């Protein structure tokens, strides 16, 4: 395939969002409005029927009520997902922003009207709630209902909850959207580039084998971040205070408490994870010292960490990447391959980079009555193939779990990375087996190790940055750009020690990370999920096809069970205090394998 044909093949890999609107693409804005209107009318009828009467429901009545709520959520969910995905594809189009705002406002009205149900359900005494939860036929929402009762101590009065929900649209939600728009609009003037590029494309230059290119890229990114950094700092400050206020009013004991509840993880287990990973920071440092030798520098700088070891900078065009990933899922199980094939055939993927497209990659589960959608920014790098596998792992998980219905399709974040990391490992094995050149094999091994470091160690370092930022905001007041930079650099230096220099320019790089803004406390779940997924993949390597039925059952269960129950389906004990250390031992083994390959390459160099 020629370069022109390859570009054309990738350019055609864009979403068809019509499925979210029942195929009505003639007037999508009207279709979104119609779905929201139907949901709004249904919510009004539901409120008239059930408000003040939840305590009077018997088991059968609760089933009927929850079925009606599922239908309301499905209609509003399809409309809002359409608006969100269209906005993600082009954040600069005012029509997309207006549609998203309209959808968010209408959805918030519906949510506000229905708040009474959760409040009345939480107010039931435990004995009555448990009797109702035992009703046959309630399985489609039982875990969700039981989980909702964990928030009893943190709920406000009904009028207060309504006010908080309505104000969220012009509060945290509005600030998060502003941040997305600001970061999506950042353009980087790279040396030698004909025109400015998006931040995502610019950051890919940090993988370049040429150190001067990496350094110039980092300096260009730092320069591009500078003009709007005070505005982004103000957004962050505002959201930090917003969360502090909410935590105080709801009597949460610390800034991470609400995230732990939503993740169905105890404070103790999360702290054990954090301490276990921090206790093994030396693994990351050890690899970076090895990498310095490979790059022939005394000490890495922050812009060297993701440098490609191989000098050929392997590229894999879209069609080849698709074939590799599809084949990996086919080998796992026919069911997995069939589901993944539908993503490619049904235009459920948006792959090419675009000027105003949201950066990064994700898989949106949408609603069970439709299907997930995957977003990428595919730039023909080998790591993009692993990203494709990662997001399709999410997609497989979400598609299999759709049968659980709208209350149980999504899992806690702590389990949500299981399928994605598993898929990455599958594809990594294929890429490694196909690579015969020793230097290129080392490059692939180093990419894998650095992925583990980024997902486990770097995410915990970012968790520590969040911890210090939230604490400082509550104790010191509004934080300056310099204070943010100080905390960011300090937590990065805690991880890197003397193995990597944290440059002055890097102090502003906290300011484009969306998780800090829209999902406070999110990042530790990456480490949690990575270690869980690696444990599951190790069992797959040991037991082969024998584990596949249990693995697919785990994915199909969605969020209908607790993380501990889901882990048990594949033989993993999340309650074991040594679980984190076992996972970290696996990472240590991978680093040792990469270091052994590095030593072989270094010896060959010295002999040459």
427-451 pLDDT, tens digit each: 998 998 888 888 888 888 888 899 8
From the list 37, 34, 60, 65, the residue with the least C-alpha distance to 49 is 65
pLDDT-derived band at 163 (thresholds 50, 70, 90) equals: confident
**Residue 343 domain-assigned (yes or no):** no
Q: Does residue 351 have a pLDDT over 90?
A: yes
CATH code at position 148: 1.20.140.70
Question: Per 3-state DSSP, what percentage of the chain is helix, strand, and coil (rounded to 5)?
Answer: 70, 5, 25
Distances, alpha carbon 329 to alpha carbons 319, 365, 380, in Å: 16, 19, 20
**Residue 74 domain-assigned (yes or no):** yes
The winner for highest mean pLDDT among 93-102, 150-159, 391-400 is 391-400
**Measured on CA atoms in the order 402, 344, 420, 186, is the torsion positive or negative?**
negative
pLDDT tens for each residue of 284-329: 999 999 999 999 999 999 999 999 886 556 889 999 999 999 999 9
Q: Does residue 547 have a pLDDT over 70?
A: yes
Exposure b/e, 95-127, CB count within 10 A at least 16 = b: ebbebbbbbbebbbbbbbbbbbbbbbbbebeee
Helix (H, G, I), strand (E, B) or coil at 374: strand
**Residue 23 domain-assigned (yes or no):** yes
Q: Name which residue leads in pLDDT, 462 or 429.
A: 462
Structure tokens at 440: 């290129």
Average pLDDT over residues 73-101: 95
Listed in sequence order, the residues at least 6 apart from 250 whose beta carbon sits closer than 8 Å to its beta carbon are 154, 155, 156, 258
Q: Would you state the pLDDT for residue 348?
A: 97
pLDDT-derived band at 5 (thresholds 50, 70, 90) equals: low
**Residue 4 domain-assigned (yes or no):** no
pLDDT-derived band at 4 (thresholds 50, 70, 90) equals: low
Q: Name which residue leads in pLDDT, 586 or 474.
A: 474
Backbone angles phi, psi at 27, to 5 degrees: -145, 80
Helix (H, G, I), strand (E, B) or coil at 124: coil
**Residue 140 domain-assigned (yes or no):** yes
With tokens 């950094």, the residue in question is 229
Q: Would you state the pLDDT for residue 250?
A: 93
Average pLDDT over all residues of the chain: 92
> How far, rounded to the nearest angstrom, does the alpha carbon of residue 402 sit from its chain's CA centroid?
19
The pairing of beta strand 373-375 with beta strand 197-198: unpaired
**Residue 29 domain-assigned (yes or no):** yes
Structure tokens at 569: 């389906």
Average pLDDT over residues 211-230: 96
Q: Name which residue leads in pLDDT, 435 or 577.
A: 435
Which residues constitute the domain of residue 62? 17-170
Our count of domains for the chain comes to 1
Q: Would you state the pLDDT for residue 152?
A: 87
Q: Does residue 168 have a pLDDT over 90?
A: no
The winner for highest mean pLDDT among 26-40, 176-190, 489-503 is 489-503
**Residue 605 domain-assigned (yes or no):** no
Q: Would you state the pLDDT for residue 26?
A: 82
With tokens 């009318």, the residue in question is 41
Q: Does residue 190 have a pLDDT over 60?
A: yes
Q: Would you state the pLDDT for residue 6?
A: 56
pLDDT-derived band at 23 (thresholds 50, 70, 90) equals: low
Q: Does residue 353 have a pLDDT over 70?
A: yes
Q: Would you state the pLDDT for residue 179?
A: 92
Q: Does residue 1 have a pLDDT over 70?
A: no
Euclidean distance between CA atoms 582 and 531, whole angstroms:
9
Supply the DSSP symbol for 21: G
Q: Would you state the pLDDT for residue 2?
A: 52
**Residue 89 domain-assigned (yes or no):** yes
């Amino acid at each position: 395939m020629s370069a022109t044909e390859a570009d054309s093949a990738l350019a055609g890999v864009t979403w068809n969002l019509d499925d979210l609107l029942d195929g009505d693409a003639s007037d999508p804005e009207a279709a979104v409005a119609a779905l929201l209107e139907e949901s709004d009318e249904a919510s009004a009828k539901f409120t008239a029927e059930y408000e003040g009467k939840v305590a009077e429901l018997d088991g059968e009545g609760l089933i009927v009520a929850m079925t009606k709520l599922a239908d309301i959520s499905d209609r509003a969910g399809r409309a809002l997902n359409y608006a969100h995905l269209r906005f993600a594809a082009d954040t600069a189009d005012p029509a997309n922003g207006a549609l998203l705002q309209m959808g968010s406002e209408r959805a918030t009205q519906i949510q506000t009207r229905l708040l009474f149900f959760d409040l009345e359900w939480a107010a039931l005494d435990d004995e009555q709630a448990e009797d109702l939860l035992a009703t046959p036929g309630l399985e489609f929402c039982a875990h969700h209902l039981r989980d909702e009762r964990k928030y009893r101590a943190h709920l406000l009065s009904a009028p207060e909850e309504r006010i908080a929900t309505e104000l969220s649209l012009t509060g945290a939600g509005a600030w998060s959207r502003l941040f997305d728009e600001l970061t999506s609009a950042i353009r980087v003037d790279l040396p030698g580039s004909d025109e400015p590029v998006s931040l995502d494309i610019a950051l890919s230059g940090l993988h370049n084998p040429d150190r001067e290119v990496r350094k110039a890229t980092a300096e260009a990114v730092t320069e591009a971040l500078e003009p709007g950094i005070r505005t982004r700092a103000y957004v962050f400050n505002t959201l930090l205070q917003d969360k502090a206020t909410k935590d105080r009013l709801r009597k949460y004991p610390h800034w991470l408490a609400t995230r732990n509840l939503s993740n169905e993880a105890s404070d103790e287990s999360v702290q054990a994870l954090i301490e276990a990973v921090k206790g093994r920071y030396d693994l990351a440092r050890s690899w970076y010292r090895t990498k310095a030798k490979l790059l022939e520098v005394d000490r890495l700088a922050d812009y060297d960490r993701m440098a490609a070891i191989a000098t050929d900078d392997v590229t894999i065009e879209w069609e080849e990447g698709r074939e590799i990933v599809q084949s990996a899922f086919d080998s796992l199980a026919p069911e997995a391959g069939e589901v993944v094939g539908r993503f490619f055939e049904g235009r459920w993927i948006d792959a090419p980079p675009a000027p105003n497209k949201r950066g990064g990659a994700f898989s949106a589960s949408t609603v069970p009555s439709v299907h997930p959608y995957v977003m990428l920014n595919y730039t023909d790098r080998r790591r993009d193939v692993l990203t494709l596998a990662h997001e399709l792992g999410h997609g497989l998980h979400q598609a299999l779990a759709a049968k659980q219905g709208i209350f149980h399709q999504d899992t806690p974040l702590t389990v949500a990375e299981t399928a994605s990391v598993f898929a990455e490992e599958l594809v990594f094995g294929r890429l490694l087996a196909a690579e015969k050149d020793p230097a290129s094999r080392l490059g692939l091994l180093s990419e894998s190790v650095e992925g583990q470091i980024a997902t486990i160690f770097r995410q915990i370092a970012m968790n520590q940055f969040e911890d210090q930022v939230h604490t400082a905001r509550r104790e010191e007041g509004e934080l300056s750009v310099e204070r943010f930079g100080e905390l960011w650099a300090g937590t990065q230096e805690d991880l890197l020690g003397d193995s990597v220099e944290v440059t002055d320019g890097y102090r502003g790089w906290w300011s484009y990370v969306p998780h800090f803004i829209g999902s406070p406390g999110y990042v530790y779940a990456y480490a949690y999920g990575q270690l869980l997924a690696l444990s599951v993949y190790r069992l797959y390597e040991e037991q082969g096809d024998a584990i596949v039925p249990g693995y697919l059952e785990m994915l199909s269960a969605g969020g209908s069970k607790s993380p501990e129950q889901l882990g048990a389906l594949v033989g993993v004990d999340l309650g074991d205090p040594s679980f984190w250390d076992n996972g970290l031992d696996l990472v240590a083994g991978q680093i040792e394998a990469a270091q052994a390959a590095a030593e072989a390459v270094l010896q060959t160099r010295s002999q040459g």
